Structure 1
Amino acid sequence: MLSIARLLSLMIVLPLVLGGCGASMKQRIEACKTGDWNQIGRTDGLDGAPPTFADRKDFCDDHGDDKKPAGADAGARYTAGWEQGNREMWSAVGAIDGAKGLQQSQYAVRAAGEEVRKRKTPLNQAAYDEGWLKGNSQYWEDIGKREGTEGLPLTKKEDSRARAAAAQLRFDEAAYINGWHAGNRAFWQDAGFTDARNGTPDSRFRDRAAAARDAGVQVQEDVYRTAWNAEIVNYWRNLGAQDAVSGKEFGTRGKEARQKGLKVFESEYRKAWEKRLDDHWRQAGLEDGYGKPFLLEERMASASRDGVFVIPSTRDVYTKAWEEQNAKYCVPENAFERGRANTGMAVEVCRGELRNQLKRAYVSGQDFEVAAMKRAQALNDVNDLESRLYDANRRLGRLERDIRGAQDAKDRQVNEESKKQDRRREQERRELIDFIRRLEWQLDEARRWVERHDMQMQRLRREIY
């Protein structure tokens, strides 16, 4: 029988074959270098190409290994490989058509297809028919499995037989029956699993079996009970974990289970129940430990209202988790960062000998952020002054070029108007020079402020320790 994995691989191959996507140039060159003429021929056959040994030989002579020329039997090996590839290609096409429930006459459609004509693919109906039979068997096996999984009787195969006859399609009874038996097994596995997962006693099997027999469905008690026994343990584990944080315990659950005849796994329940409570108290300790006081007594007092239980390990688990998080919270780095963010720091939850240091670190964080804002402003000033200085120097350069140009002009007329213009330009030049000097002084001062703020920020960060 054609496996699912094989069908999936064929479904990948088929679009490549029918779409004309052949082996890559790199693959062909590698094949030439190895001198495997059987594989070279097989690749051409799989690609749907006609046998072209002469062309392939010329190609390999140009791209292959000079030390491995084609042997005398290269043509025969190429032909054998090509025949194998062509057979595999058409078998794959047939297998997929058969698995889709298409008629065997679909071969004619494939043979007349555009890609087959364009690539001049040699036909091979025998290979197609061989693959189609395998695919057709898989088609009926899948239908049988689906109907078996749905809890339908084996007699449903007659409906499939009738549909096949109406569609003039081959019906593979043996394949259908094989699939149905696999599906029937899955049906009883799922029934056992579902009943156990829902806490339904395995005595429910009697009702299921009676209904199945009435419907003509094969009963597999061993399959049901194997699945039920495997899952019932998980049911008690899940129930224990759920009850631990919903105010319930084994006493009530055990009584309910015995009343309805459900198999009890007290040990598994209690392990899961205690583990869930350990997780609960650890999480509570972690939550309180980061910036909150030690609240174990309050939490224990309200446990019953919160639907949880206090167990022997509660104090130890909570305390370790609280101390773990408290140690992460009560460090200078955290106080410093919280000061920067101005989110507050509950130093009172930290050890007494750390509190003053943490307070200083928190204030340093606030001061650091103020210094950072001032530094950012100073940087903006630097950037603004640099831009203004650049523009002023450009203006001065243009003005000086204009002055030199006017002085060097041979046809320049010297009169009262030209003298006034010269005086105006000279005055503007002196003013620009003064302006540039002021900007340069301001820029130097702004840069010094950036440096001062940098040093202050570094000092504030160092002093938290």
Structure 2
Amino acid sequence: MTLNPRFLKTLALLLPLLLAGCQTTMQRIADCKVGDWNMIGHKDGAAGENQNFAERKDFCADYETDKAKTDSAGNYLSGWVQGNWDFWSGRGVADGRLALPVSQFEARLASDEVRKNNTPLNRPAYESGWNIGNGEYWNGLGKRDGTAGLPLSSQTDKARNIAQDKQIRFDEPSYASGWQTGNRTFWQDAGFSDARNGLPDSELKGRAAKARGAGVQVLEDAYRGAWNAELVNYWRNLGTQDAVSGKEFGMRRAEAKQKGLKILESDYRAAWEERLAVYWRQAGTDDGYGKPFQLEERIANAARNGVFVIGRSRALYTEAWDAQNARYCTVENAFEFGRANSGMAVEVCQGPLRDRLKHAYASGQDYNNAAARHARAAADANELHGRLDDLQRRLGRLEREIRAELERKDRVVNDDTKRQDRRRELDRRDLIDAINHTERMAIDAGRQADRLEREMQRLRREIFLN
């Protein structure tokens, strides 16, 4: 049966609506089972729906518990009233945040969602929400202006003009509160920036003079708090950089004194020490895997490489080198190196291990050779089995021809038919001989593959026995 394309298109459009309706029904059944009529009423009100307790009560009759039946009408109404308030208040908040006038309520009345649900009006709720959203709008604008370092007085006048242009209420306290928050951020950013760039906190003097001249409030505590906090990071960053670039602290101290910058030597040296600990540990890790113990050489070349030797350098390098050397010098590794026919620096391993590693390496090479021969033997066996199947099919076909010829009712026995019979019999014997020969070869190839597989297993197993 072929379905009408127009029907399929209509079904595709309706299916999401049907699924949504099914989900709504399932949710309502779940609400009935919970039996919280205040919640049910609130959901209806918050969805912009009219009061419909009777309909809900009838729907829930088969699902609600006895406990839920107590004053269900009163609870529903209470919840619906709050839900309706939340519906209108939420839309008021949204419009207020967008700097729309409170008269936007009239536009809401004509909206599809209100008309579709015949939502009961609630102007007080809308206006309450609008006042909240309007306050948030002005608070955000004040925060942006304060963060930009703009003066409060002139920006307040500008904001008031914006309010007149948009025909909305100007919430000056909210704007001023946001501006104060932004102003603090402005001075914190200034302190952070100066410390990050290694500038002394005396920069505040110039910044403050410029700000006062522009009518901007100065928050010295905000600047200094951020400057002091970031200065720690400044010196730690220098310590981290200098540890592996060969720069001395004395040079940094001289630069700081020249600029009048506060010196935090303890923070610098802590970060410097941490970075060098990482360096020497990593050096040991790098050398430990297949390389000789090169600590003395690294110490001798430290200055040339722009790094410093610390009291823990030897211990950190040695510990890391030993750990990596232990990972490198294993019979499993030696076996795999041998299999890959790649070199292994057995000489970096401990003396007692070297003979075992050499044996494992040689076993890996033997394993690789055996694996190659095993692959060839397995391929030969597969090829011979394929040839054997073909010969057996040919023999079966020939024997059916011979049998059919002998059983033919109109068969004439003469010299020609006798010659044909002899030829077929010779062909049959040749095929039987070929089958027997091929079968023996296939068996030999299979045995060879099995033997080589056992050899491979032995080679892998014996590396742990020596």
Q: Which range, TM-score by smaller chain?
A: 0.7 to 0.9
Partner of 2:223: 224
Structure 2 letter corresponding to 1:459: R
Partner of 2:161: 162
Alpha-carbon contact 1:392-1:436 (below 8 Å) kept: yes
Partner of 2:14: none
What is the TM-score of this pair, normalised by structure 1? 0.85
Partner of 1:51: 51
Alpha-carbon contact 2:36-2:68 (below 8 Å) kept: no
More divergent stretch after superposition (221-230 vs 72-81): 72-81
Measure, in 1, the Cα distance between the counterparts of 2:386 and 2:108: 74
More divergent stretch after superposition (445-454 vs 336-345): 445-454
Measure, in 1, the Cα distance between the counterparts of 2:401 and 2:115: 80
Measure, in 2, the Cα distance between the counterparts of 1:116 and 1:439: 89
- Residue 397 of structure 1, CA deviation: 5.8
Partner of 1:135: 133
Structure 1 letter corresponding to 2:35: G
- The 5-angstrom pairing of residues 142-161 of structure 1 reads 142-154=140-152, 155-161=154-160
- Residue 338 of structure 1, CA deviation: 1.7
- In the alignment, structure 1 residue 114 sits paired with structure 2 residue 112: yes
Measure, in 1, the Cα distance between the counterparts of 2:390 and 2:114: 73
Label 1:305 to 1:393 Cα distance change in 2 as closer, same or farther (>3 A). Answer: same
User: CA deviation digits over 1:160-197, x for unaligned, max 9?
Assistant: 22122112232221111111111111111111122122
Partner of 1:80: 78
- Residue 404 of structure 1, CA deviation: 6.4
Gaps of 5+ in 2: 1-19
Measure, in 1, the Cα distance between the counterparts of 2:124 and 2:399: 95
Alpha-carbon contact 1:193-1:228 (below 8 Å) kept: yes
Alpha-carbon contact 1:23-1:43 (below 8 Å) kept: no
Gaps of 5+ in 1: 1-19
- The 5-angstrom pairing of residues 49-448 of structure 1 reads 49-62=49-62, 64-65=63-64, 67-68=65-66, 71=69, 73-154=71-152, 155-389=154-388, 412-415=409-412, 433-448=432-447
- Residue 328 of structure 1, CA deviation: 1.4
Measure, in 1, the Cα distance between the counterparts of 2:364 and 2:426: 52
Partner of 1:3: none
The alignment covers a number of residue pairs equal to: 442
More divergent stretch after superposition (358-367 vs 50-59): 50-59
User: CA deviation digits over 1:17-65, x for unaligned, max 9?
Assistant: xxx9997444322321121111112122223333332332233223x25
Structure 1 letter corresponding to 2:313: T
Partner of 2:462: 463
Alpha-carbon contact 1:21-1:47 (below 8 Å) kept: no
User: CA deviation digits over 1:308-329, x for unaligned, max 9?
Assistant: 1122222222222222211211
Alpha-carbon contact 1:22-1:47 (below 8 Å) kept: no
Measure, in 2, the Cα distance between the counterparts of 1:120 and 1:382: 84
- Residue 93 of structure 1, CA deviation: 2.3
Structure 1 letter corresponding to 2:111: G
Measure, in 1, the Cα distance between the counterparts of 2:298 and 2:219: 52
Label 1:38 to 1:242 Cα distance change in 2 as closer, same or farther (>3 A). Answer: same
Measure, in 2, the Cα distance between the counterparts of 1:222 and 1:60: 62
Measure, in 2, the Cα distance between the counterparts of 1:125 and 1:403: 105
User: CA deviation digits over 1:105-129, x for unaligned, max 9?
Assistant: 3334443333444444444333222
More divergent stretch after superposition (92-101 vs 174-183): 92-101
Alpha-carbon contact 1:41-1:85 (below 8 Å) kept: yes
Partner of 1:27: 27
User: Helix, strand or coil for the counterpart of 2:463?
Assistant: coil
Alpha-carbon contact 2:405-2:411 (below 8 Å) kept: no
Structure 1 letter corresponding to 2:410: Q
Structure 1 letter corresponding to 2:248: E
Measure, in 1, the Cα distance between the counterparts of 2:412 and 2:423: 14
Label 1:401 to 1:266 Cα distance change in 2 as closer, same or farther (>3 A). Answer: same
- Residue 290 of structure 1, CA deviation: 0.9
User: CA deviation digits over 1:108-154, x for unaligned, max 9?
Assistant: 44433334444444443332222222112111111111111111111
Alpha-carbon contact 1:240-1:249 (below 8 Å) kept: no
Measure, in 2, the Cα distance between the counterparts of 1:25 and 1:192: 58
Label 1:75 to 1:375 Cα distance change in 2 as closer, same or farther (>3 A). Answer: farther
- Residue 454 of structure 1, CA deviation: 2.0
User: CA deviation digits over 1:189-235, x for unaligned, max 9?
Assistant: 11112212222111111111111111111100011111111221221
Alpha-carbon contact 2:88-2:122 (below 8 Å) kept: yes
Measure, in 2, the Cα distance between the counterparts of 1:406 and 1:418: 9
